[in-house]
Amino acid sequence: MKLYNFSHSSASYRVRIVANLKGITYDYVSVNLMKGESRQPAYEAVNPQGRVPALEDNGRLIPQSMAICEYLEETHPHPSILPTDPFGRARVRALALMVACEIHPVGGGRAQGYLTALMNADASQRADWGRHWMSEGFRAIEVMLTASPPSGRFCHGDTPTIADAFLIPQVYNAERAGVDLAAFPTIRRIYRECNKLEAFAKAAPESQPNAA
């Protein structure tokens, strides 16, 4: 099993967390986004989308972090990253998708690059844009976590789930971007709890072979 990923790619970070939680080993294949390696013909021949992460298992390629995490759940079901009940499973998937579909796309490098091309936005304006959308997304997640009885030590109860695997990399990005997290005490608490676990610590960008 090969995981094509980059240290500071939050989508890659998610998959590393899930693999670690499940005790799955893989070959780490570095695709350095800072050097444009994801857009090189050699990598696009592997993944035509030219993005990370991508998982190769027995010669079959799976792109997109959510699909990879679901694949790892189905092929390595224990320990599970999903609750046992239908509502719980829907809840943690919803939290994960709030990060993957609402926050990440508008603040990522491609979106910010287009801001420059379309509006001649400078670095400061791009940073403000990213902080705005992270804060907007966190407000909804904070309410959902705080007002919901299933929240526990982690996003759902006292066992990490796919929701934590998606949330923690986004909080890491927010800290680096200078987002004021004081308004999100539940998110901050869960972030601290997750980072006490080896599975999360080993997945952190600084712990990777191609750390930037």
> Quick one: pLDDT at residue 53?
97
- In which domain, by residue range, is 7 found? 2-79
Residues 96 and 71 in one domain: no
- pLDDT tens for 160-206 read 999 999 999 999 999 999 999 999 999 999 999 999 999 999 999 99
| Same structural domain, 119 and 151 | yes
Say yes or no: 156 and 187 in one domain: yes
> What are residue 5's DSSP bridge partners?
30
Biggest CA-to-CA distance, the chain: 49
The gap from C-alpha 97 to its chain's centroid, in whole angstroms, comes to 10
What single string gives the DSSP state of each residue in 160-173?
A: --HHHHHHHHHHHH
**Is there a domain that residue 211 lies in?**
no
Is residue 114 scored above 70 in pLDDT? no
Residues 142 and 174 in one domain: yes
- Domain shared by 58 and 113, yes or no: no
Q: Which of 48-57, 118-127, 135-144, 172-181 has the lowest mean pLDDT?
A: 118-127
148 vs 95, 144, 159, 170, CA distance in Å?
12, 6, 16, 21
Q: Are 146 and 189 in contact (CB under 8 A)?
A: no
> How high is the mean pLDDT of the chain?
92
Each residue's pLDDT tens digit, 26-70: 999 999 998 999 999 999 999 999 999 999 999 999 999 999 999
Q: Are residues 103 and 173 in the same domain?
A: yes
Q: Which residue among 31, 50, 79 closes a domain?
A: 79
Neighbours of 210 (CB within 10 A): 18
Number of residues written out for the chain: 212
In a domain, 208, yes or no: no
Considering 58, 79, 100, which residue would you say is the last residue of a domain? 79
Whether 52 and 91 map to the same domain: the answer is no
26 to each of 4, 67, 149, how far by Cα in Å? Answer: 10, 17, 36
Domains in the chain: how many in total? 2
% of the chain beyond a pLDDT of 70:
93
Q: DSSP code of 157?
A: B
Determine, yes or no, domain membership for 207: no
